[in-house]
Amino acid sequence: MTPPDPPAIAVLSVAGSHRDVGRQIGEATAGVLRRETAIDAFDARLPDGRSRAEQLALAARYRDATRRAVPWIVDEIDGAAEGAGVDPLALFARSVEEIWGESSMAHAGHGGSRGTEGRCSDLVAVPPLTANGHAWVAHNNDLRPATESDVVAVEWRVPGEPVVFSLGIGPWISVGWNDAGLSLTGNELTPNDERIGVPRLLMVREQLTATSLEQAVELALRPDRASSYNTVYVSRDGRALDIEGSATDAEISVPDGRGALAHTNHYVCERMLRYEGDPAYARLSGVRYARAAELLAAAAPGTVDGTWLQAALSDHATEPALCRHDPAGDGSKTVFWCVADVTAGEIAFGRGNPCRSMTQTYRFGPG
């Protein structure tokens, strides 16, 4: 008997000041945020040798750095804490991946060995590879199976800023787009030069306020960052680039001459290899990277569209696969996917695996 498709992802529409939108998200996702900050769950994830008090004190240093640099981000997290009825410092601490020594909340799951987990896979296609001359991006997001039910879509409306549509958990954004024509996806890395600064997870929210590709890059490379993801940007004018970052360095790549770009969860650029903090996992990530690149290389010019990209995300040819399944429920699986026509401002997405999922659609209105 074929199991039913996973249920649709709830779409929240929030509006108002940064504090207001944070509060609304906190109210809507209170169960998740209470679970993440509960004393027993919080303490169970503490790095060896570190007490709860020490962890909160360390988080406060990141919070102070963020308050100095981007105060409204702290306002949003505080608003979410207020809406969920949780301790704001504990919630901020759960927003700082750099202090947990574990896979990320929005990008990779919680705790334990990464083992053969898939995490995030990105495929980008721009002209001349695409069928309609548009710029496209596709993304699979892999987390612990238990988190699949936590995924939420949010439409953010803050006066004076672009409208943002995002997918993630609670206030933590995995991927997003805005009505200025910017797409932001990407992959968690394991940089070995992390430091006190603005947490990489919260930097994603700031980057989605950018009104140009150039501004987004500047925000991604802010000198006071604590660390960095590999960030994939696509703009509706057809440009795309990939930033492999660490806390102290970065390398920017662009699609090849055919219009193809792929990335997974390890450093690929030669100058960034010295920042790889998990060589064993890099080899596993390399399996998915090679398969994504192979699929793009096999596509004929002028053929890639949303249907092609969803089929690529549904690929099971390797282990770990681009489309990650975990029947035992104790590892990692694809908990959501998305395929975006960035030129048109249209995003197709769904909960669970792209090979078996209800397709939902979000479209930005006229500019």
For strands 182-187 and 240-245, give the pairing.
unpaired
The confidence score (pLDDT) of residue 111 equals 33
| Integer CA distances (angstroms), 59 to 21, 54, 56, 292, in order | 23, 9, 5, 37
Residue 205 sits in the same domain as residue 167: yes
In a domain, 190, yes or no: yes
In a domain, 276, yes or no: yes
- Following DSSP, what letter does each residue of 294-347 receive, concatenated? HHHHHSPTT-B-HHHHHHHHT--SSSS-SS---TTSSS-EEEEEEEEETTTTEE
In a domain, 31, yes or no: yes
The confidence score (pLDDT) of residue 109 equals 37
Residue 134 sits in the same domain as residue 69: no
The confidence score (pLDDT) of residue 367 equals 54
In a domain, 207, yes or no: yes
Helix spans in 38-70 (H)? 39-44, 52-69
**Distance from C-alpha of 284 to C-alpha of 21, rounded to nearest angstrom:** 38
The confidence score (pLDDT) of residue 123 equals 98
The confidence score (pLDDT) of residue 329 equals 61
The confidence score (pLDDT) of residue 101 equals 80
**Distance from C-alpha of 322 to C-alpha of 331, rounded to nearest angstrom:** 15
Q: Are 189 and 265 in contact (CB under 8 A)?
A: yes
In a domain, 115, yes or no: no
**Distance from C-alpha of 264 to C-alpha of 290, rounded to nearest angstrom:** 9
Total structural domains within the chain: 2
pTM of the shown model: 0.95
Residue 73 sits in the same domain as residue 174: no
280 residue type, one letter: A
The answer for residues whose C-beta is within 8 angstroms of residue 52's C-beta and 6 or more apart is 39, 42, 43, 46
Boundaries of domain holding 250? 120-363
Residue 87 sits in the same domain as residue 126: no
Residue 90 sits in the same domain as residue 125: no
In a domain, 352, yes or no: yes
**Distance from C-alpha of 272 to C-alpha of 279, rounded to nearest angstrom:** 13
Q: Residue 213 forms beta bridges with which residues?
A: none
In a domain, 107, yes or no: no
Longest dimension (CA), the chain: 57
Q: Which of 47, 69, 99 is the last residue of a domain?
A: 99
Residue 80 sits in the same domain as residue 166: no
Q: Which of 99, 131, 163 is the last residue of a domain?
A: 99
Regions in the chain scoring below 70 on pLDDT: 1-2, 102-118, 327-330, 367
The confidence score (pLDDT) of residue 296 equals 98
Q: Which of 50, 69, 99 is the last residue of a domain?
A: 99
Residue 56 sits in the same domain as residue 180: no
Residue with tokens 């290389």: 297
Cis peptide bond N-terminal to 88, omega within 30: no
For strands 333-341 and 136-143, give the pairing.
antiparallel
CA angle, 245 then 246 then 252, to 5°: 20
Residue 152 sits in the same domain as residue 27: no
**Tokens read off for 263:** 């990335």
CA angle, 317 then 148 then 124, to 5°: 50
Residue 216 sits in the same domain as residue 306: yes
82 residue type, one letter: E
Q: What is the domain-level CATH number for residue 301? A: 3.60.60.10
Residue 306 sits in the same domain as residue 335: yes
The confidence score (pLDDT) of residue 226 equals 98
The confidence score (pLDDT) of residue 56 equals 98
Residue 274 sits in the same domain as residue 349: yes
Residue 231 sits in the same domain as residue 128: yes
In a domain, 112, yes or no: no
